[in-house]
Amino acid sequence: MPDLRRPAHHITPAYEDNGLFRSPVRRITVGLVPQMHRNNRQDLVVRAFLSDGAAIEVLFAGRRTKQALGVEKRLRSLLFQTRTKTPGWRDEGIDTVQLPVRIEGVWRSRFIRDAWGCETRQYQLIAARWALFDEAGIAHLFGEAPVHLAPPRPARIEGRPRGTV
């Protein structure tokens, strides 16, 4: 199957953000868990939990992936500290190790097919900006607000916008 994506050097921030952020940006606080992987576009995908306990995935995509390296290092460090401080640590308790992060992003739903062929809806939060808190409680901001292309201008006929009387 041919890859129809544009080459990386042809992608502008506005073009990238128009593809990622199609709905209004929301501010959500999540607990990131040190379970992460890279997808086929080399975006960072991290498992997280909402305040009500629902499991989601947080996606750090595109040019924001480089800034998300700090999140990845912090999660690995948090996991290492927990493993060394907890005698008899088992990986089943990894969901209890959470890094609170305030994220500005948009929701995207995906359907995942399991081994029996049933599809389950899974939610992803695509991060535009995020804030990490240090030991002193000071927030450090990363990422950037979405850049959008200018909306198309309405067609004008005889000096009036189309559809007006």
Whether 154 and 161 have beta carbons less than 8 Å apart is answered as yes
- Looking at residue 31, its amino acid is G
**43-87 per-position pLDDT tens digit:** 899 999 999 999 999 999 888 889 999 999 999 998 888 888 877
Q: Which domains does the chain have, with CATH numbers?
A: 13-66+88-128 (2.40.50)
**pLDDT above 90 for 7:** no
pTM: 0.78
